[in-house]
Amino acid sequence: MVNKTPNEGLKLARLFMVFSSLSPLFIFWAIQGTKLIPDVWFISICVFMVLVPNIILMMRISTAIKINEKLEIAIGTAEDHRDHLLVYLFAMLLPFYTVDLSSYREIATVIVALCFIVFLFWHLNLHYMNIIFAVFGYRVFTVYPPIDGNPLNNRSSVVFITYRVTLQPNERISAYRLSDTVYFERRA
């Protein structure tokens, strides 16, 4: 049997990209607090969950730049995914923000729900969903390669994080690899 799904590498980088996408939630919870866990511990855990994944994401970007881990992306069509950020904010962050962490059972439920979300983000390759990119003015596009009649071309799409507002068909862009399906263009 032939595996038609591309094998996504950089599993640890992808995992930390998923955790970094949850940063706003941990900021909300650090501010909100809970009566069950002393603030020093709860805030420390939240700060850890904000800083460590984002530092590792920045290290991955830095490493890709340092070793010049680039790929040329040929633009066929491109879809802007600003709407994904809105779905992410309203479907995931806001419901979790309003959770009352007043019992150990509620905390356990939230941890299990977060595990499901981490799994889904990882499994569905949504590890690029990160509000930090938006804060720094980057946009997220799904880029499909041009249709050129060559059946041997790789026809899989990639996620392209860039400062550009639009992408033109048949344009070729050199981008840094963050994972096998996520590429990043640094501001000049």
Q: How many structural domains does the chain have?
A: 1
**Considering the domain boundaries, does residue 49 fall inside one?**
yes
Distance CA 157, CA 142 (A): 7
Mean pLDDT of 127-152: 77
* pLDDT higher than 70, residue 178: yes
Q: What percent of the chain has pLDDT over 90?
A: 26
Q: Residue 79 in contact with residue 142, Cβ under 8 Å?
A: yes
Asked if residue 140 is part of any domain, the answer here is yes
- Provide the 10 A C-beta neighbour count for residue 52: 13
Digit-coded pLDDT (tens) for 41-91: 999 999 999 999 999 989 999 999 999 999 888 898 888 877 766 666 666
Token digits for 137? Answer: 């003015």
The whole-number pLDDT of residue 152 equals: 46
Residue 5 located in a structural domain: no
- Taking 3-state DSSP, the helix, strand and coil percentages for the chain, each rounded to the nearest 5, stand at 50, 15, 35
**Is the residue at 2 inside a domain?**
no
Share of the chain above pLDDT 70, in %: 80
Structural domain harbouring 139 = 11-184
Residue 1 lies in a domain: no
Q: pTM score > 0.85 for this model?
A: no
Determine, yes or no, domain membership for 3: no
Instruction: Identify whether 172 is part of a domain.
Output: yes
